[in-house]
A and B are shown apart, each in its own frame.
Chain A
Amino acid sequence: MLYPLIAGVLFGLYFSLVGIGLNLVFGVMRIVNLAHGDFLMLGAFVAFGVYTAAGLDPLVGVPIAFALFCVAGLLLYWILVPRLQRARDPEMLSFILFFGFSQVIEALTTIVFGTSERSIPSRELANSLSGVRAAIFGGEATNGPFQIFGLSFPASWVVAATVSVIAIGCVYLYLYRTRLGTLTRAVMSRREEAIATGINVDRVSAAAFGIGLGLAAVAGVFAPFMFGSFTPAFGIDATVTSFVVVVLGSLGNPLGTALGGVVYGVSYMLVQTYLSSWADLLPYVLLIAILLLRPSGLLGRRVRVA
């Protein structure tokens, strides 16, 4: 019982990181980024590139992926979004637009890298930090499994969960302790009033879009370790999982995602342990149930109409 619980929390924290970028983008722009999972996939390729081409610790990929996709997000925002916002039904059209975009990303990645599955040996993640770990927790400078309550967990899970907590903390600081973050929250809660008070909505939205994609790519860096392997086609599954996590937490409330992620992670691990053949069904059933019973998520505001 204890093992699936702790594993669930570790996975859940990681899933929060997977979903939070999607939620930030939706909260600010009311845009459904169906290409979210594909940015995750590209992040995984960054980790792969850092490891195979440069021979570095895949953890180095985290800042690289974040910076790279932040910039990409800003550029994309200015190309796609203002045009989209002028349309009659931006939310629905964004769904289709980003679906097309995800196809383009998947196709280009397939053309460049092929369809083969790739993986990175999990002991490579955070290998360079094993000295630091030995200094803190004692023991030898290895990258073996972590001991929590006498149970051992792969080091890569613990590292991914730790980075996720740090990243979510940074999102919190950004939203609640910076000027741009305060403006972001203003746009999230009342877009029209934010425009009326003279907030530069485009600038705020562009920043949120860049950060959202950056976070997706950071989550992607850990994807090879959490899911075992990745292919260019893995984006769509990642998108669905992100949706489950985000809807569980509540759409439009980035911090609710952290809760949603943990709930999802724990329930996934419990089902996997006790009813393993039904585990694949869980995210979908959970998603439908939450949308119908409590569409505003575990925390958050109303989204359902009619």
Chain B
Amino acid sequence: MPDTLRHYLFIAVPLLVVLAVLPSVYNNHLLLFNFVIFFILAQGVNIIYGFTGYLPFGYVGFFGAGAYGFALMVMHLNSPAPVAVLAGGLVAVVLGLILTPLLRLAGAYFSIANLAAALAVLHLIANPALESITKGPYGVALNGTFNPTWAYAGAVLILALTLGIVVYLKNSSFGLALQAVREDSFSASMSGVNVVKMRTIAWLASALVAGLAGGVFAWYVSVFYPDNVFSADFSIFAIVFALFGGVATICGPLIGVIILYGIYNLIGFTTPQYFQLIYGLLIMGLVLFLPAGLVSLATRRGWNVP
């Protein structure tokens, strides 16, 4: 059995099945939905940061663009929700295309520019001057499409797609080429890797899943403000979860979400500042002592972690 199939069957499928069954035995559907969203976003960060080394500090820009893509389709064209979710993904890809020049920037410059781009999109959408189109800072209410059950199913489906992309990257020569670019783009291009094209594909794939996640999020909550869907918390959580577990693996980001988002829901809702303190300290400890994430505890011993 090829590794691709094995990884998908033994990591992705069990997770998807559990997520599909859980709503019927567990009552807090919003919590489950948020878990699925963060699985998607953490894996999306994994696609771009883990495999290409670009840390997207404004990753939420794609998520918010997807949410507003969904909202605009529903508000102005009365389109059915699944079509609007796809449109959300498309909007995020278009935003990604517009932002491809940012990939020319290295390291921290890219992260800063990406953060600025996300904030620019937020301020564009929240601009009172565009109220007739986006409803500006007053937020949107989409009562017609409200259907949490189907939105949850859509989210699980998007997660399946995202996991498929990550499994493919992990096991294909394309993913290997991307990692070579991350390590040393010059040598990679000397060995015949089309650096710019590969980077752009990974970037757009990562934008797509975040946009789809944003669309399905808009479908699920149906009432939101620009500040909700462009909240920096989405970027930060997704990055921290992915890093905590360990990027460039399939399991790492999933483990990160389960542990950290689990802790967040135990203590974060009542006392967010204590959670902030804990995850601040966790990040610092991680960078100083375990820069490759939790999975490096295993890989250091020579175990192979998919």
| B-binding residues in A (CB < 8 A) | 32, 80, 83-84, 87-89, 91-97, 99-108, 110-111, 236, 240, 243-244, 247, 277-278, 280-281, 283-285, 287-288, 291-292, 295, 303-306
Contacts and interface: CB of A to CB of B under 8 A. Distances in A.
A100 B273 contact: no
Contact of A104 (B105, B277, B286, B291): B277
A288 B120 contact: yes
Interface stretch (B13-21, B122-130, B164-172, B252-260): B122-130
Nearest to B53: A92
Interface string B73-113: 00000000000000000000000000001111111110111
Contact of B232 (A89, A104, A236, A247): A236
A280 B287 contact: no
Given A95-B107, A96-B243, A96-B283, 20 more contacts: A32-B112, A83-B288, A91-B108, A92-B107, A95-B111, A97-B284, A103-B276, A103-B279, A104-B281, A107-B277, A247-B112, A277-B128, A281-B120, A287-B116, A288-B117, A291-B105, A292-B104, A292-B105, A304-B109, A305-B106
A105 to B, nearest CB: 8
A284 B99 CA distance: 13
B193 interface: no
Nearest to B127: A277
B150 interface: no
B185 interface: yes
B176 interface: no
B36 interface: no
Interface in B256-286: 273-274, 276-277, 279-284, 286
A288 B284 CA distance: 28
Nearest to B136: A277
Interface of A (DSSP majority class): helix
Given A96-B287, A236-B232, A281 B274 contact: no
A306 B113 contact: no
Contact of B105 (A83, A99, A102, A295): A295
A95 B277 contact: no
B282 A100 contact: yes
A93 B105 CA distance: 17
A59 B129 CA distance: 40
A103 B277 CA distance: 6
Interface residues of B, number: 44
Contacts of B106: 303-306
B179 to A, nearest CB: 14
Nearest to B113: A291
Given A277-B128, A292-B102, A304-B105, A100 B287 contact: yes
Interface of B (DSSP majority class): helix
Interface string B142-168: 000000000000000000000000000
B120 A285 contact: yes
Contact of A281 (B127, B243, B276, B284): B127
B198 interface: no
Contact of B55 (A87, A96, A100, A244): A96
4 closest cross-chain pairs (CB), A and B = A100-B283, A103-B280, A104-B280, A107-B277
Contacts of B124: 281
B129 A278 contact: yes
Contacts of A94: 108
B115 interface: yes
Given A83-B288, A107-B276, A291 B112 contact: yes
Nearest to A290: B113
Contact of B123 (A80, A91, A106, A284): A284
A95 B55 contact: yes
B119 interface: yes
B109 A291 contact: yes
A167 to B, nearest CB: 24
B140 interface: no
A93 B284 CA distance: 10
A107 B113 CA distance: 26
7 contacts: A89-B107, A93-B291, A101-B284, A103-B279, A236-B232, A284-B123, A303-B106
A107 B55 contact: no
